[in-house]
Structure formats: structure tokens, C-alpha cells
Structure 1
Amino acid sequence: MNAFLTELGKSLAPRWAATLALPAAAFVALAAAAIVLGHSHALDLALLRSRATAVSTGPALLWVVVAFLVATGAMGLAVTALGSVVIAAWGTTGVGVGRPFVALRHRRWRRASAKADAAIKVVLADRSDRRAKREARRAVLRREAISQLEPECPTWAGDRLRAVDDRIRRGAGLDLTTLWPRLWLVLPEPVRTEVAAVQDRCASAARTPVWGVACLLVGAYWWPALVPGLWLVLLSRRRIRRAVGVYADLVESSTDLHARDVANQLGFELTGKLTPEIGNQVTEMLRKQA
């Protein structure tokens, strides 16, 4: 999982100017409006227009434009850095500040797992009961909405990526953190392009809560900014889940389809399925080479 989080962190840096220039400029304009209006004149658009007109026709226009561009660039860089922090937080384990979140998610998962197991037992006792099957399916989905396996990370995203690593280790004997750099080299160009595109989506999703919190901070001085702030914070959960879910599925699919290519490149010359026994040998060989 650490390899995937590292790759996601890298995707925050390139092309930040293209992806962050517009939202950063919008945020700086929002902050400027907050400074001009404040709570006392929160919706006074006439005052805002008069101040903007005074600046645009005055001798200080050049300095205002320079300050706006500098603030936009600084905000873009700051959000890039904080987005990396968000991604790094996905994979932390139950230590330090992440411990309470892991404990909370673990309790919720255990309760949901107990209900899912009970519902499955009802289905096994009477396979003709369609209602019981529907209830069991819903119970399993509620459990997986928390985590696909017993939580060890403070966030759903971290455990979703860990589930991929766990399934591949159990099913093919491969350690994905060790395998991934070699697998990347043998992936076809269209697959690598698709993975890179999804990594960019994950990076963008990781920045969403950062923008939301920034708007909430501006809202302390100008209450209308609380509206986009709350919307972005609420939206961030869905965006992160959707992007990370697609990324996890794509990584797992890439491994399923092309891990044999890595084994063949290492001299195993497989003609059939990549078994856990061979996967363990591949993992051992890669670790010795590392």
C-alpha cells in the first residue's frame, strides 16, 4: 500500500499550475471579498463593486495584480503540500493521532460484521428465503462500506488499498509493494496512461477537503464563504471514495493481467496460472534484488 500512496503523492506535483490555477484564483478572490466586506457588509455587492472599481482605475492596479498572482501561486503550492498530507494520512496505522479513528472504525466494523454473519447464517439455514438473502446482501454491503477487511487504517481509503494488497498476497503470493515498480515497467502504455489518469483523480479528490477547510476558515471573517466550505467538505468523502475505489480496482486488475509478465521476465517462463507458490518465489527474488 505504501507504494501506491507514494505514487499518488507524486501525482500531486506535476501540472499543478493547470489544475490548481483556477480554483486557487477563485479562492484568493473569495478571501479578498471577505477582507473587503466582512460580516457587517456580507452581502453588500455595491460596496464590493465600488472597491473593485477604485482598484482597477487607480495607480496601484499593477501591485494588486502582482499580489493576486503571488497569492494564487502560494495557495496552489500550499494546497498541493496539504493534499500530500491527506494522502499520507490514508495509510497511517492505529498509532498517534490516528488511533482514535481506527478504534472507532474498528468498533463500527465489528458490529456490522456481526450483523452480516448473522444474516448469512439465516440464509444458509433456508436458501429459499429471498427476503433473508436481500437482508444478508445489505448487511454485507454495510460492512464493506466501512471496510472490506478488518480496519487497521484511520480512513476508508487506506483500508481499501490494503484490501487489494491482502487479496493479491493471499491469491498469488505476491507482495504488491515490492512488485509494483517492476510491474509498472511491463504494463502496456494504454494501461499506464489509464493508471496515471486515475492517480490524478485521486490527487484532485485529496485536495477537495483542503479547499473546503480553507473556505471554512475564510467563513470566520465572511459568513457566505461557509456555504462552499461545507459543500466541499461534504463532497470530499464521495470524491475520495469514488476515485480511490477505481484506483484500487485498476491496480488489482493490472496485477491480475500482467503479473505473469514480470514472472516471465525474471525467467520463470510460465505457461499456466501464476500460483501462490510461484508468486512467493517471485516475491523472494525481488526482495533479494532490492
Structure 2
Amino acid sequence: MGGLLNELGKKLAERWLTLLVLPGALYLAVAAAGHTLGQSAALDVGRLTHTISDAARAPQVSTVGGQVVLLAALLAGAAAVGLAAQSLGSVVERVALAGGWGAWLWLFGEQAERHVARRQRRWDAARAEYEALRLRERAPRPADRPRHRERHRAAHRCERISVERPERPTWSGDRIHAAAVRLDRDVHVNLLILWPHLWLVLPEEIRGEIGRARAALTRAAVLGGWALLYLPLAWWWWPAVPLAATLVVSAARRLRTASDAYATLLEASVRLHLTDLADKLRIEEQPMGPPLGGAVMRRLSSPAPSTEPAL
């Protein structure tokens, strides 16, 4: 038991150091450099080196007690900044996935609604172009048929907007929503109701893959939280602007990749293991598709509440 607790403590300390302290220490170093140099001498390395040397010779730092206090303060400050980045990351994740965007504040809600309408118009136009190229492929004369490259480009333009018709203001949110749309259309299951029950019958390795994909999505959102923290530093140190912009671009790309992988695993898990859930529910064997999905949903759906008074 003691060995297990020691190993657990080591893993927790490692995660605490990796996720909170090291990125937080880097942030504090950048903030200190920006505060020291300012806008006028933003890239003056000599001035920064001289300031660090003077601080290292200070009497408060030269003693063991002062060094311990300084190290403790740095660790506490780095951990606090890391927690702030994770909190901002949860906000970034909610905005990126936009699950409840209809309940956003009125100003943001109106802007999101207009953005969804624009995305829908762009998607409809791209989809119409793709369908027109598919129809041209059936032309009797080969000269009238489009090249395969044109059709693939049209499909790519459509997918860059959204995999299915947009219903949310962000690509990542629509990508996860597309998994629910496809399963409802092809298998007639409600992913929101089905998923907790299916999760209990999934193999351990599948649940591990889904958990890692979900963790990657969270890490990408936390990277966006760090970008939001670095952006205010530009007020007194302009090099923070390209740093924050780099983090924003990296976070956006990672969010897109992680949401795609997570949605793909959700959809694949349902299609591959819906029959396992049906067996657990003792549903008669049926082919994969709407009959099986409908039978499972009827078993999982709660009955309507009775209007008769309780005796």
C-alpha cells in the first residue's frame, strides 16, 4: 500500500510540475523580462543580463533562507499562473465547442447566430458545387465529365467549412455535432442518451483511446488559455504579441485536430459496439442500422411521466 501511494505521489508531482509549474515559470520569466525592458528597450539583452546580475548579488538572495523563500514564491506564483491558464482553457474549450451557444449573452448570441447563418450559406454553396460536379460525372461523353481533382477540391472546400451542415459557430463544435447528426441519420440513435450506457460496455483499450483524445482536446484549449495570458503582456513589452499570436495559431490547429479525432472515435465506437450494448440489453439480434438503433433507443428512453395521482 505504501509503494502504491509513493508511486501515485510521484505521478501527481510530475503532472503538477509539467502542467503548472514549468509553463508558469516561463510565463513569469517573460513577464519579468518585459517589465524590466519595456517598450523602448524590448530587445536589449545586455540590459536584461545586467539587471539579473544585480538581482543575484542582492543580500536577500545571497543567503540560504532568502533563496528558499524566493524559490517557494516562484513555485507558488508559477502554480497560480498555471491554474489561471487552465481556468481560461475551460472557457476557451466551451467557446470552441459551442455546445450551448444559443444561451450566450445577447450580444455574443446575436453575433454567433449571424456567423452560423453565414457559414450555412457558404456550406450550401460549396455543397451545391460538389453535387453539380457529381452529376457531371454521369455525363455520357467523357469530355463533359469533370476531372477527379475538381471534385476532390470541391469536397475539401465543403469540409473546411463543416463536415455536415453547420449548426454551431465554430468548426470544432460542428465537427463533434456532426458525429451525433450522422448517427441519428444512419442508425437512428441519440448520442447524448446512448453514450453513458455504451461507455460502460466499451473495452478498456477503446475507452483509453477516447480518454486520450479527450485529454488532447483539453490540452489544446489550455494552450489557448496561455495565449490569453500572454496577450496582456504586450501592453508594456511588444515581443509578447508574436508570442501570443503563435500560441493562438497553434491552439486553433490543435483544437481542430483534436476535435476531429475525438468525434471520429465517438462515431466509430457507436458503430462498432452498438451490438454489444444491444446484447447487454437482451435485444434480439438485428442488423446494424435503424432497426437496431431504434430498438436500443426504445429500451434506453425513459417513459413519459404518469399524470395519475400517487396512491
TM-score by structure 2 length?
0.80
2:272 alignment counterpart: 257
Correspondence 1:207 to 2:222: yes
> Where in structure 1 are there 5+ consecutive unaligned residues?
1-14
Counterpart AA for 1:286: L
- Tell me if structure 2 keeps the 8 A contact 1:99–1:154: yes
The whole-number CA distance in structure 2 between the counterparts of 1:24 and 1:147 is: 35
**Kindly, what percent of the aligned residue pairs are identical?**
38
Task: Give 1:175 deviation, angstroms.
Answer: 1.0
Bigger Cα Rg: 2
TM-score by structure 1 length?
0.86
Secondary structure at the aligned position of 1:223 is classed as coil
Task: Give 1:163 deviation, angstroms.
Answer: 0.8
Secondary structure at the aligned position of 1:110 is classed as helix
1:80 alignment counterpart: 86
1:111 alignment counterpart: 125
Give aligned pairs, total.
275
What are the Cα deviations for residues 44-91 of structure 1, in whole angstroms up to 9, with x where unaligned?
Answer: 222222322333343155444333222211221122122112222212
- Cα distance, 1:260–1:57 mapped onto 2, change above 3 Å: farther
- Of 183-192 and 124-133, the range deviating more from structure 2: 124-133
> Where in structure 2 are there 5+ consecutive unaligned residues?
1-14, 305-311
1:278 alignment counterpart: 292
Secondary structure at the aligned position of 1:125 is classed as coil
Correspondence 1:92 to 2:100: yes
- Cα distance, 1:70–1:126 mapped onto 2, change above 3 Å: farther
- Tell me if structure 2 keeps the 8 A contact 1:160–1:248: yes
Secondary structure at the aligned position of 2:200 is classed as helix
- Of 190-199 and 60-69, the range deviating more from structure 2: 60-69
- Tell me if structure 1 keeps the 8 A contact 2:86–2:225: no
Secondary structure at the aligned position of 1:43 is classed as coil
Counterpart AA for 2:235: A
State the Cα RMSD in Å. Answer: 2.3
2:233 alignment counterpart: 218
2:3 alignment counterpart: none
The whole-number CA distance in structure 2 between the counterparts of 1:289 and 1:236 is: 43
The whole-number CA distance in structure 1 between the counterparts of 2:33 and 2:232 is: 14
The whole-number CA distance in structure 2 between the counterparts of 1:245 and 1:210 is: 20
- Of 179-188 and 61-70, the range deviating more from structure 2: 61-70
Counterpart AA for 2:136: V
Secondary structure at the aligned position of 1:124 is classed as coil
